[in-house]
Structure 1
Amino acid sequence: MNTTLYIKQKTKSLLLIAILLCLGSHSKAQQKQFTPGKIWPDDKGVHINAHGGGILYKKGKYYWFGEHKIAGDAGNRAMVGVHCYSSTDLYNWKDEGIALNVSDDPENDIAKGCILERPKVVYNKLTKKYVMWFHLELLGKGYAAARAGVATSDKVTGPYTFIKSYRPNPGQMPFYTPLTPENEKVNCAAPASETDGFFCRDLPGGQMARDMTVFVDDDGEAYHVFSSEENYTLDLAQLTPDYTGHTGKFIRIYIGHQTEAPALFKRNGIYYMIGSGCTGWAPNAARWFSAKSIWGPWIFHGNPCKGPDSNITYGGQSTHVLPVAGKKDAFIFMADKWTPKDAIDGRYLWLPITFKGDDIEINWLDSWDLGVFKR
């Protein structure tokens, strides 16, 4: 046999074996802890691309939906769509591809280059549809549109079909409980504040809807929470039975204080919400609220974060609070560490929530695992 040919074949074989061994070792390298702020590789070894996202738990599996970012100067514009990942243990995530694609039609509401933020997916038991809501800004309009967008799918991972975008609750006045203070009731005949003026200005066409989340209660009722009135007020609005529209019933929360990034959850019959102030892409102190009824009154409690850098939420901003399946009082605070100059490099800060009676606290951990929660 030709010696040179033999050496070449042997070299190729050894190289192939080395590649297979590397691939094999990579596939077995399972993560067993959370490391907030570090690169978080998916099953392909690529940093997870699901920013401003939320998680749906269905049939023993978690599905993470978030904004897909690209390298370069696209900034916060949506050039691809909403990415989906799945996991059974929360540490290791499989890339499930793009769940909702932006459109190549520049006239479409979700045209390529629009701003599509904070996607959240919920499951509707009546229609057996998966429903995705998101904050939408129309192509080339900056942040002027302030719309809510909705899409649905028969399959959790998609593809999702875009339905519509609009401003919620046109022509509707807020719902007031008997406990609502008189100074929180808006009077469009004589607005008492600049914030009330924004509400009245937008009343005919619907309220502004920016940073948002969606919450499904124990009874199956779903609610859309969003920054409104130039971000000075949070609206909490009831969704229709199919989760694709608004019923017209809503309340205003923390009126006159700029609040973004709402994340809502429930424990022991008490509703909790974590949010942030409004400082552009720069981090600020988180804030939390609680209520014994979804319709309020909602009580402001200050900053849940403790220790160094708590005044900037450890460099991040809330996006979702995740209940861990099968564990009691186990909730994960999910935040994004935004990098607007290189959006694709945005990091994720996941931290456990600690309960002290009915109060909550969040502390920084360099690394941790689900063992911190009681079963």
Structure 2
Amino acid sequence: MKQYLKLIVLTLFAGSFAAEHAYASIASGEIWRDDRGVHINAHGGGILRHKNTYYWFGEHKIEGKAGNRAHVGVHVYSSKNLQDWSDCGIALNVSNDPKSEITKGCILERPKVVFNEKTRKFVMWFHLEHKDAKPQPYSTARSAVAVADEVTGPYTFLHSLRGTPENWPINFPEEMRNQFDVKDDYYHGSASWEEKAETHQRGLAVNTCFHEGQMSRDQTVFVDDDGTAYHIAASEHNATLHIRELNESYTGYTGKYIRIFPGRYHEAPAVFKREGKYYLISSGCTGWAPNAARSAVADDIMGEWTELGNPCVGINPGNNMGPEKTFGAQSTFVLPVTGKKDAYIAMFDIWSPGNAIDGRYVWLPIEFADEGFYVPWKSAWSISSFEDMEN
């Protein structure tokens, strides 16, 4: 009886909170509460719009440093207006089976969900590191796939994989191929970052991983207008981004892929399309510490990419960090807002590795110019500030 009464009280509290605390604006870096009054737990996430509702998927963190590993799974929330969010529960649970690849204590990062119009399945991709990875925690470097019949799940883990084994990048010169007699000593050598970057520019890691498949760490998924999907991931020990075409079910690769910015150490990729051009937001590689954001543009997602520079403008007054530290945050996703003109939201995470559950979110509207785009800091802004599309 006491538990029943407690449930009634919690339900009434949640309903009261949702009614009284509807958000009039997006306040980046602040605690952002769901319909129950709890800080949203969807870190490193992405958003899928399905049947006029937005679904936000992200890493469920727990308190302390332990929260940097997966103890629960992938959380999902829903919203009609992108400002008020309802808790829809855990979309993908980690396993209690120690033999499972996604056993409790693994590293499960940056989940992204897309809908496959042909199979009518929801497909989730995420970066996976096995719990007992050797020689160091991030040496698994795999992507993983889960599927569901309903947008909020439950999602069923299918498999993990390395990228495109036995295939060369389509933009990989012939003279760089078949260097199997040259050892990639990344983990065991004492080379400087500059020396390592030079080996990646020569494609040694591609050769080292040719048979097993290419590495995948920070990642995202993008579905183009024609329904073709692409997996974008930090590869080659994080030194080079790979863009890989997915198969028709979106659960694996076709074997077609390219390398972009070899040896430049991009991670945290977020890709979007506007007026026929493809844009990228990413970051440098400095672990949990923030660094300067990067941007790039291409006329073809599998074509030539050109770096544009740091798109961030302004200062986050909460931590006094500006463009040189991406407001203290790191990119995770870019969301096109349906029904609004030229409306794109750049999503970032302010990581809190000492107490993972306290990570905050930075959502900012993208502004466009002839030479690219900008992400200006706004302490508070509303979705209504985007102009409605003409009918």
Deviation by residue 1:209-251 (Cα, 9 ceiling, x = unmatched)? 0000000000000000000000000000000000000000000
AA paired with 1:175? I
Distance 2:255 2:110 in 1: 22
Cα displacement (A) at 1:23: 6.1
Q: Does 1:288 align with 2:300?
A: no
* Deviating more after overlay: 192-201 vs 273-282: 192-201
Is the contact made by 2:52 and 2:80 (CA closer than 8 Å) also made in structure 1? Answer: yes
Residue number in structure 1 paired with 2:102: 110
Residue number in structure 2 paired with 1:217: 224
Aligned with 2:378 (options 346, 365, 371): 365
- Assess, with a 3 A threshold, how the Cα gap between structure 1 residues 207 and 20 changes in structure 2: closer, same or farther: closer
Q: Does 1:188 align with 2:178?
A: yes
Q: Does 1:256 align with 2:256?
A: no
Is the contact made by 1:269 and 1:292 (CA closer than 8 Å) also made in structure 2? Answer: yes
- Assess, with a 3 A threshold, how the Cα gap between structure 1 residues 334 and 140 changes in structure 2: closer, same or farther: same
Distance 1:267 1:288 in 2: 14
TM-score, length-scaled by structure 2: 0.87
Is the contact made by 1:188 and 1:197 (CA closer than 8 Å) also made in structure 2? Answer: no
Aligned with 2:325 (options 301, 307, 312): 312
Is the contact made by 1:259 and 1:277 (CA closer than 8 Å) also made in structure 2? Answer: yes
Q: How does 1:82-161 map to 2 (within 5 A)?
A: 82-141=74-133, 142-161=137-156
Is the contact made by 1:106 and 1:139 (CA closer than 8 Å) also made in structure 2? Answer: no
Deviation by residue 1:267-323 (Cα, 9 ceiling, x = unmatched)? 000000100000010000000010001112000111000133111000000000000
Q: Is the partner of 1:339 in helix, strand or coil? A: coil
Aligned with 1:332 (options 337, 345, 358): 345
Cα displacement (A) at 1:25: 4.1
Cα displacement (A) at 1:22: 6.4
Distance 2:49 2:290 in 1: 28
Aligned with 1:228 (options 232, 235, 257): 235
AA paired with 1:252? R
- Assess, with a 3 A threshold, how the Cα gap between structure 1 residues 185 and 158 changes in structure 2: closer, same or farther: farther
Is the contact made by 1:263 and 1:320 (CA closer than 8 Å) also made in structure 2? Answer: yes
Cα displacement (A) at 1:140: 1.8
Distance 2:384 2:79 in 1: 17
Structure 1: runs of 5 or more not aligned? 1-17
- Assess, with a 3 A threshold, how the Cα gap between structure 1 residues 185 and 285 changes in structure 2: closer, same or farther: farther
Aligned with 1:60 (options 23, 28, 52): 52
Structure 2: runs of 5 or more not aligned? 1-8, 183-196, 316-321
Distance 1:344 1:20 in 2: 23
AA paired with 1:194? T
Q: Is the partner of 2:157 in helix, strand or coil? A: strand
Aligned pairs, number: 353
AA paired with 1:148? S
Residue number in structure 2 paired with 1:46: 38
Cα displacement (A) at 1:373: 1.8
Residue number in structure 2 paired with 1:354: 367
Residue number in structure 2 paired with 1:298: 305
Deviation by residue 1:343-366 (Cα, 9 ceiling, x = unmatched)? 000000000000013510011111
State the percentage of identical aligned residues: 55
Q: How does 1:7-86 map to 2 (within 5 A)?
A: 25-29=16-20, 30-86=22-78
Deviation by residue 1:32-81 (Cα, 9 ceiling, x = unmatched)? 21000000000000000000000000110000000000113413110000
Q: Is the partner of 2:67 in helix, strand or coil? A: coil
Is the contact made by 2:65 and 2:353 (CA closer than 8 Å) also made in structure 1? Answer: no
Supply the RMSD in Å over aligned alpha carbons. Answer: 1.9
Is the contact made by 2:217 and 2:238 (CA closer than 8 Å) also made in structure 1? Answer: yes
Residue number in structure 2 paired with 1:14: none
Residue number in structure 2 paired with 1:172: 167
AA paired with 2:141? A
Is the contact made by 2:228 and 2:248 (CA closer than 8 Å) also made in structure 1? Answer: yes
Is the contact made by 2:70 and 2:107 (CA closer than 8 Å) also made in structure 1? Answer: yes
TM-score, length-scaled by structure 1: 0.91
Is the contact made by 2:239 and 2:262 (CA closer than 8 Å) also made in structure 1? Answer: yes
Distance 2:222 2:366 in 1: 18
- Assess, with a 3 A threshold, how the Cα gap between structure 1 residues 69 and 22 changes in structure 2: closer, same or farther: closer
Cα displacement (A) at 1:187: 2.9
AA paired with 2:264? H
AA paired with 1:260? E
AA paired with 2:158? I
Q: Is the partner of 2:95 in helix, strand or coil? A: coil
Distance 1:150 1:44 in 2: 30
- Of structures 1 and 2, the larger Rg is shown by 1
- Assess, with a 3 A threshold, how the Cα gap between structure 1 residues 125 and 359 changes in structure 2: closer, same or farther: same
Is the contact made by 2:219 and 2:269 (CA closer than 8 Å) also made in structure 1? Answer: yes
AA paired with 1:51? H
- Assess, with a 3 A threshold, how the Cα gap between structure 1 residues 97 and 22 changes in structure 2: closer, same or farther: closer
Distance 1:80 1:372 in 2: 36
Distance 1:19 1:127 in 2: 39
